[in-house]
Structure 1
Amino acid sequence: MLQSKMRWNFTYEDSLEEVKPVNGLKPLTQQLLKNRGIIDPAHIDKFLHPSLEDLHDPFLMGGMQETVDRVKLAVQQGESILVYGDYDADGVSSTTVMLEALKAMGADCDFYIPNRFSEGYGPNEDAFIFAKDSGFSVIITVDTGIAAVHEAEVAKRLGMDLIITDHHEVQETLPDAFAIIHPKTSPNYPFQELAGVGVAFKVAEALLGRLPEELLELTAIGTIADLVPLRDENRLLAYFGLKALSRTERPGLRALKEICGVDGEINEETIGFTIGPRLNAVGRLQDAGPAVELLISNDKHEAMQLAEFINQLNQERQKIVADIAKEAEEMVLSQNGMNRVIIAAKEGWNPGVLGIVASKLVRKFDRPAIVLGIDSETQAAKGSARSIDAFDLFQNCMEVRERFTHFGGHAQAAGMTLPVEEIAGLQEDLNRLAAEKLSAEDYQQVLDIAMTIEIDDITLKQIEEVNQLQPFGVGNPKPLFRVQQSPKEIRLIGSRKNHLKLQFQKAKSRLDGIAFGMGELYQKLSPQANMEVVGELGINEWNGRKNVQVMIKDLKVSEWQLFDFRGSKQLDKQIPLPENEKYAALSFHQMEHAPHNIPVLSPTEMMEAERLDGIVVLDLPNRLEELGEVVNACKPGKIFACYRIEDSAFLKTWPTRDHFKFFYGMLMKRKSFNVRTEGEQLAARRGWDKSMVDFISQVFFELEFVKMEDGLLTINAKPSQKDLQESVLYREKQYQMKVEQKLYFSTFRELKDWFNAYMESVEEEVVNGS
């Protein structure tokens, strides 16, 4: 038995057999669409064949007309416009989209992104004063500004028109700006979940009076990197943006793709794991300006220099993250007990990477995490937070808003600044809120499983059809499937042997499984365990050959496991016994040494012992029932068969009645026979083993057919009438052979079936009331 690490949530009810064919799709694909609420043929067709014509009218968004009129006036009058952005991938791409739209209108414009370390998140008074002094009369924020109440007053005082475009959560008070363009302040707008770059794209569309398809590739980057739901407009922007990005002629993006080794079709994973992190890395370590310069660059040489610089920054960022994450994990583990909401804070931590560190803590400890860097001079703690599905970080932190100097974000991610003296109180408040709102199950990561499938249902064509649901992401998750099958092969891979590779086979169908970072499970898995794995289906292409595979996210074994070490030596090195589980060794013949020095118990002691995770069987019983009773009483989750045989009865020729008849007839003729001096010769003549001569002699002596003295056999004048079965020695040898046959010389499957019979028998008796 092996428990899954995560909680499995089965999101489907119908079986594939109940799915009626629609639009020529396979039942599995239809079920995935149904899980997403996409059922009728017209809706299915629209989802699988997106069209830019389905984008909403940008003028349905509040503040749009006022913004277009003001920008056009600025262009006519030669006013300077400042695009004020944010330092993450969404902010950088939003800034670029707005800049290029304004330039296409002929506007005099520039951009400004605050420095994360010296200015912090969002608009600030000093930056606005600098903008005024630099001659700007209009400021357009992108991906930021919805909480800039004070800064809006500053802009008014300075005589500048502030236009806010944002998508972050709306707080109690809206800024008094010239215009606010935000889906959630626009009740007439059909879709509320645009990313910052999505809002900027809608503004660009309104400003230009056309759909700016040349900006779709930038819009896809911010939309996917910011983890907004890939539904409705976001799906359209990501879908067509990825296609544009795959064939982009933009020098900056081409250089970045080349540096990253990205070629061919780009999907959402390319953004999430390659392009997005590099654009984010700039603002995490320094001023984010080079990221915007890369995206707007028209010079190939300049673009390549910027791409190389940004890639180096990302490598530096990775090292900083690893170092801080290690410190933060040690800090959490050193605390007395685990807090319901983790808060880790320390001087010197780079605030630019703390969101990534928080994400790592959430994955490791399965609970919300806040990671703060402390400024020793100001005694301010600044950082980021990430959460679990069941804990709305934004709403819960808003309940204790008074503790923060600055706060903003979403349900699952937030940024904050607070005085150091407020950290302990915040910890106490969030622990209380989590205790009130969360159950024990809420702390366990959840895998939403789309379907249980058979190996022979997993084909290249089926996976290609499933991929029509791309791009996958929040709101349109990449489907997870459960597969139940005993693996044909399990092995460790990777330079550090920390990954698992499994191969499943059913008839002619084969499925490879890769479980990254699960190498520690290798010793916990019996080679032929009836395994359940949950993972994403994919296609592995190598040397021109395509094979189906499953990228395993979690696995479990629901039944007990048999580990077969029969006949092995050096068991201490071979047998895996996890430290957090309880084991005992079983010996029928008072053996003293067991692998890893676990306690050795007799059958009686074993049956009286407290619940064990597993038992190690050191030697063979005299009767099969002796072992069966122990197994039945203990019901262990794991059985390690570790016994060896030095002198096998099963492998030796078992004497038949004809063998006994011949031997007795020989004695009748000769009257005497010396087993010690003549046994070898007789065995050689008859093609027997010498041990068989000895055994027959001992059985005859026990049954009083012969007398024996110093190896000399003589016929008993009045032998008793007895059957061979009356010989204890004969029966013991039969028992020994049967034990060896069942427990030692059987196949793995035969041995597992034998143990199964004893695992199940008592439960059946109890159910029947006997």
Structure 2
Amino acid sequence: MIDSKKRWRTPETDARAVQALTDSLGLSPIAAKVLAARGFTEPEAAEAFINMDLSSWHDPFGMKDMDIAVGLIQQHIRQGSRIAVYGDYDADGVTSTSVMMKALLSLGADAFYAIPNRFRHGYGPNTELFTEVYEKGASLIVTVDNGISGVEQIKAAKALGMDVIVTDHHEPGEILPDADAIIHPRHPDGDYPFGDLAGVGVALKVAHALTGDFPADSVYLGAIGTVADLVPLHGENRLIVKMGIDRLRHSAEPAVKALCKVADVQQPNIDEETIGFGFGPRINALGRLGDADPAVRMFLTEDPAEAGMLASTLDDRNRERQKMVASIADEAIAWVEDTYGDALPAVLTVAGEGWNPGVVGIVASKLTERYYRPSLVLSLDPEKGIAKGSARSIEGFHLYKELAKNAELIPHFGGHPMAAGLTLPIVNVGQLRDNLIRQGEETLSDEDLIPVIDIDVRLALDEVDLASIESLRALSPFGSGFAKPVYGLSDLSVESSRKIGSMRNHLKLTVTDGRSQLDVVGFGLGHIDDELTPDAKVSLAGDLQINEWNGRKKPQLLLKDLKSSGWQLFDVRGERVLSRWLPAIPEDALFVAFKKENADKFRADTGKEILLTSQVQPERASSLVILDLPDNMGELEGLLGSCSPSRVYTHFHVPESRYFMGMPDRKQFGWYYTFLKQKGTFHVMREVDGLAKHRGWSRDTIIFMTKVFFELGFVTMENGFAVAVGNPPKRDLSESGSYRGMERQIEIEQALLYSPYMELRRVIGAILDAPDTAREEQQLWI
């Protein structure tokens, strides 16, 4: 048995809806199943989702205060006033700034931008930076991707005589800033039909309202910011990303070409994963480590050389960020494991002096992914006495609400159910850690602490082909709120398994249902190879892909999780070198020997606790290692019946094998007895080698026959001499205990030690797979 490390959740598929989608829209069964699993059961809704166009784009003037904002901006442009676009340092903020700047400059505005520094100014409106903007001659500030929480800062800007327009998408507080206009998709007094826009989506709305046309030239920026900010990809967000990706693939923008070069991406192949894993991290790296200004300059420049230089800067900073994250993550993981070992608390709070606060959010994500616990990672600044950091959560633990319960410890925090940022005095860190652990224990059950994998669609192997996988592209883009589907396949045989990669830490499988085959790759899952047996039936969960190699295309499953029900047999017979197989044995395995001398030997060789079968308690053992051979099948049945293991490792060591020596036949016994009568006396130990050489027998065969004759009364033994009895009684060879023991030993070795793998599995399976009542009867008989 291979237990899954995650909880598998699979919804029931509406077969009629799948058929309707297939018939009406010409979709492949796989694509239809995905849509039905995601709630698109009506063909009309599914078609509108797949073929989304500008008819899904709402009138920007449907946003509260849009008319006021547009009028004010136009007034400042007419007056020749300077307009400052006040952005943010992440990818959403950078692209929002770029969209707003492009729109203003296209209208002839005297516009410039300001991006706060994470370390100097913090997030959002900053009075010091507002003052700098004012001193540069700004009469109007337009915030993008921030501002809704800047009540005091905007009040200060107004006091300087500047007009302020807030465009934001973050959660509005109870008190709104006293800005001249607030453009927000979830404005408390508004009724805009789509509330999940990213900051760049709001900026696109303002750009549309200002110019009078949909900002097609800037929609590629909308795709980057929307994907990077992890907002749900439905409604207008989906349209932005869908149109933006198409624009990215064909764009002549210097920034796009420069990003493709540093990210090693072919421009026609850009998709949402390119943005999420290639472009987004590089743009975010600047703001995490310092000033994000170069990213905006890259998007605004028309000079390919300058764009290339700035993209290289982004790439360099991203490499620096990666090293920093890896170093801090190593320290954080070491602290967790040194502090808690296997007894992890419900919530992890890790703090380190000098950690860069710009990357601790990524480290928190890594801890949550590794341990599946809500995780806080804090950077300590002893000089200021402040801890600043980020948190990530899991299902069932509403991070913002749980932090709010500690408001007296955390003067500044913000976020949502799954992520948050916070600043607090260092002296409060210990108390916060204790409080969150207690809150986690009260809120999270043991089941909640097991990672979840949601399987969208269950498939049969014959449904997986290149055409079906390619048809899934019609459902893209995938992302937050519309994740890439996870597929489940069950009851497949493992045709081949091996570890791959320079560190041999990845897994490569080929699975089959007897008719079709599928290649499977599991990154970081190489250890599963040690757990698979040739007879294993596996269930897989993962992402279907097309693997192209040397011009050939094949379906492939990128493995997320694997499990196998039923017991497994691991064959380590004949492996005399312990180091070759002992490391693969689970730590909690039960090692058992039938014979004391073998138990003593293995105990001395391995240092492990070795039990005799008489010491085994009748309780379940997940892994059982059988070190030597039983004297009879009854002993094996008793051991397996008492343990009911899910994994059986058979070593079956015998000091001397009887199977290949063979049982002497009656002609051999007859010749030997005649020889003894003619010889008169025969000193067994002195003369056995000569006789063995003469007859071509082994010395053990001669000693064995002598012992049988002695037990039957056919010879006497005196001082090592065997002397034939004149008129021995009529007795059958099987009446000798040694003869019967040899027969049993040969039978046991043939059945257990020298049988093919599948035959051994059949023998053990007849015991383990027997009904409980039958097993109880076997044990009673034993």
Report the TM-score when normalising by structure 2. Answer: 0.90
Distance of 2:46 and 2:501 partners within structure 1: 41
Alignment of 1:14-33 (within 5 A): 21-22=22-23, 23-33=25-35
Cα offset, 1:26, TM superposition: 3.3
Distance of 2:409 and 2:724 partners within structure 1: 103
Q: In the superposition, relative to structure 1, how do residues 628 and 304 fare at CA in structure 2: closer, same or farther (>3 Å)?
A: same
CA deviation vs aligned residue, 1:500-532 (integer Å, no higher than 9, x gap): 222223335322222222334444444543333
CA deviation vs aligned residue, 1:645-681 (integer Å, no higher than 9, x gap): 56544345556xxx52696599789975789789998
Given candidates 174, 178, 201, the residue that maps to 2:180 is: 178
The one-letter amino acid of 1:410's match is H
Distance of 1:468 and 1:371 partners within structure 2: 39
Distance of 1:543 and 1:600 partners within structure 2: 52
Given candidates 120, 123, 134, the residue that maps to 1:121 is: 123
Q: In the superposition, relative to structure 1, how do residues 623 and 662 fare at CA in structure 2: closer, same or farther (>3 Å)?
A: closer
Q: In the superposition, relative to structure 1, how do residues 762 and 314 fare at CA in structure 2: closer, same or farther (>3 Å)?
A: same
CA deviation vs aligned residue, 1:306-344 (integer Å, no higher than 9, x gap): 111111111111111112222223333444664433222
Aligned partner of 1:325 in structure 2 is 329
Query: Between Structure 1 and Structure 2, how many residues are aligned?
Result: 764
Query: Which secondary structure state, in structure 2, belongs to the residue aligned with residue 642 of structure 1?
Result: strand
Given candidates 144, 167, 170, the residue that maps to 1:168 is: 170
Aligned partner of 1:297 in structure 2 is 301
Alignment of 1:354-365 (within 5 A): 354-365=360-371
Cα offset, 1:732, TM superposition: 2.4
- After TM superposition, the structure 1 stretch with the greater mean CA deviation from structure 2, 250-259 or 753-762, is 753-762
Distance of 2:644 and 2:244 partners within structure 1: 57
Q: In the superposition, relative to structure 1, how do residues 17 and 205 fare at CA in structure 2: closer, same or farther (>3 Å)?
A: closer
In the alignment, is residue 248 of structure 1 matched against residue 251 of structure 2? yes
Distance of 1:249 and 1:553 partners within structure 2: 37
In the alignment, is residue 238 of structure 1 matched against residue 247 of structure 2? no
CA deviation vs aligned residue, 1:518-557 (integer Å, no higher than 9, x gap): 3344444445433333221211111111222222222233
Contact 2:328 2:355 in 1 (8 A): yes
Aligned partner of 2:462 in structure 1 is 456
In the alignment, is residue 282 of structure 1 matched against residue 292 of structure 2? no
Distance of 1:240 and 1:69 partners within structure 2: 28
Distance of 2:150 and 2:198 partners within structure 1: 18
Cα offset, 1:705, TM superposition: 6.9
Aligned partner of 2:90 in structure 1 is 88
Aligned partner of 1:739 in structure 2 is 748
Aligned partner of 1:54 in structure 2 is 56
Query: Which secondary structure state, in structure 1, belongs to the residue aligned with residue 421 of structure 2?
Result: strand
Alignment of 1:635-654 (within 5 A): 635-645=644-654, 647-652=656-661
Query: Which secondary structure state, in structure 1, belongs to the residue aligned with residue 511 of structure 2?
Result: strand
Cα offset, 1:152, TM superposition: 2.1
In the alignment, is residue 630 of structure 1 matched against residue 624 of structure 2? no
The one-letter amino acid of 2:258's match is A
Q: In the superposition, relative to structure 1, how do residues 66 and 419 fare at CA in structure 2: closer, same or farther (>3 Å)?
A: same
Distance of 2:217 and 2:435 partners within structure 1: 48
CA deviation vs aligned residue, 1:371-427 (integer Å, no higher than 9, x gap): 222333432322222111222222333444454443333322222223333434433
Q: In the superposition, relative to structure 1, how do residues 684 and 472 fare at CA in structure 2: closer, same or farther (>3 Å)?
A: farther
Distance of 1:309 and 1:683 partners within structure 2: 84
Contact 1:672 1:715 in 2 (8 A): no
The one-letter amino acid of 2:647's match is K
In the alignment, is residue 259 of structure 1 matched against residue 265 of structure 2? no
Contact 1:586 1:606 in 2 (8 A): no
- After TM superposition, the structure 1 stretch with the greater mean CA deviation from structure 2, 214-223 or 520-529, is 520-529
Distance of 1:497 and 1:428 partners within structure 2: 40
Given candidates 438, 445, 451, the residue that maps to 1:445 is: 451
Alignment of 1:320-719 (within 5 A): 320-335=324-339, 338-484=344-490, 485-526=492-533, 528-576=535-583, 580-588=587-595, 590-591=597-598, 592-594=600-602, 596-607=606-617, 612-645=621-654, 647-652=656-661, 660=666, 664=670, 672=678, 702-703=711-712, 717=727, 719=729
Given candidates 205, 212, 218, the residue that maps to 2:221 is: 218
Query: Which secondary structure state, in structure 2, belongs to the residue aligned with residue 593 of structure 1?
Result: helix
Contact 2:60 2:209 in 1 (8 A): yes
Q: In the superposition, relative to structure 1, how do residues 758 and 187 fare at CA in structure 2: closer, same or farther (>3 Å)?
A: farther
Cα offset, 1:349, TM superposition: 1.6
Q: In the superposition, relative to structure 1, how do residues 664 and 367 fare at CA in structure 2: closer, same or farther (>3 Å)?
A: closer
The one-letter amino acid of 1:10's match is T
Contact 1:586 1:615 in 2 (8 A): no
Contact 1:113 1:287 in 2 (8 A): yes
Contact 2:88 2:146 in 1 (8 A): yes
- After TM superposition, the structure 1 stretch with the greater mean CA deviation from structure 2, 688-697 or 394-403, is 688-697
Cα offset, 1:299, TM superposition: 0.5
Distance of 1:713 and 1:768 partners within structure 2: 48
- After TM superposition, the structure 1 stretch with the greater mean CA deviation from structure 2, 369-378 or 269-278, is 369-378
Contact 1:453 1:482 in 2 (8 A): yes
Cα offset, 1:251, TM superposition: 0.5
Query: Which secondary structure state, in structure 1, belongs to the residue aligned with residue 583 of structure 2?
Result: coil
CA deviation vs aligned residue, 1:42-97 (integer Å, no higher than 9, x gap): 12222222323222222222121221222222222222211111101111111111
Q: In the superposition, relative to structure 1, how do residues 89 and 736 fare at CA in structure 2: closer, same or farther (>3 Å)?
A: same
Distance of 1:19 and 1:715 partners within structure 2: 89
Contact 2:18 2:41 in 1 (8 A): no
Q: In the superposition, relative to structure 1, how do residues 333 and 602 fare at CA in structure 2: closer, same or farther (>3 Å)?
A: closer
- After TM superposition, the structure 1 stretch with the greater mean CA deviation from structure 2, 73-82 or 315-324, is 73-82
Cα offset, 1:450, TM superposition: 1.6
Cα offset, 1:228, TM superposition: 0.9
Query: Which secondary structure state, in structure 2, belongs to the residue aligned with residue 576 of structure 1?
Result: helix
Q: In the superposition, relative to structure 1, how do residues 653 and 581 fare at CA in structure 2: closer, same or farther (>3 Å)?
A: closer
Contact 1:668 1:715 in 2 (8 A): no
Q: In the superposition, relative to structure 1, how do residues 694 and 437 fare at CA in structure 2: closer, same or farther (>3 Å)?
A: closer
Aligned partner of 1:754 in structure 2 is 763
Distance of 1:133 and 1:678 partners within structure 2: 112
Q: In the superposition, relative to structure 1, how do residues 767 and 646 fare at CA in structure 2: closer, same or farther (>3 Å)?
A: closer
Aligned partner of 1:4 in structure 2 is 4
Q: In the superposition, relative to structure 1, how do residues 81 and 237 fare at CA in structure 2: closer, same or farther (>3 Å)?
A: same
Identity of aligned residues (%): 41
Cα offset, 1:683, TM superposition: 10
Given candidates 98, 101, 119, the residue that maps to 2:100 is: 98
Q: Which runs of 5+ in 2 are unaligned?
A: none
The one-letter amino acid of 1:415's match is G
RMSD of aligned residue pairs (Cα, Å):
3.2
Contact 1:624 1:739 in 2 (8 A): yes
The one-letter amino acid of 2:445's match is S
The one-letter amino acid of 2:504's match is K
Distance of 2:517 and 2:34 partners within structure 1: 23
Aligned partner of 2:198 in structure 1 is 195
Aligned partner of 1:73 in structure 2 is 75
Cα offset, 1:19, TM superposition: 5.1
- After TM superposition, the structure 1 stretch with the greater mean CA deviation from structure 2, 549-558 or 34-43, is 549-558
Cα offset, 1:468, TM superposition: 2.6
Contact 2:90 2:283 in 1 (8 A): yes
Distance of 2:48 and 2:648 partners within structure 1: 54
Cα offset, 1:111, TM superposition: 0.9
Cα offset, 1:698, TM superposition: 5.9
In the alignment, is residue 268 of structure 1 matched against residue 272 of structure 2? yes
Contact 1:533 1:552 in 2 (8 A): yes
Distance of 2:14 and 2:629 partners within structure 1: 49
The one-letter amino acid of 1:510's match is Q
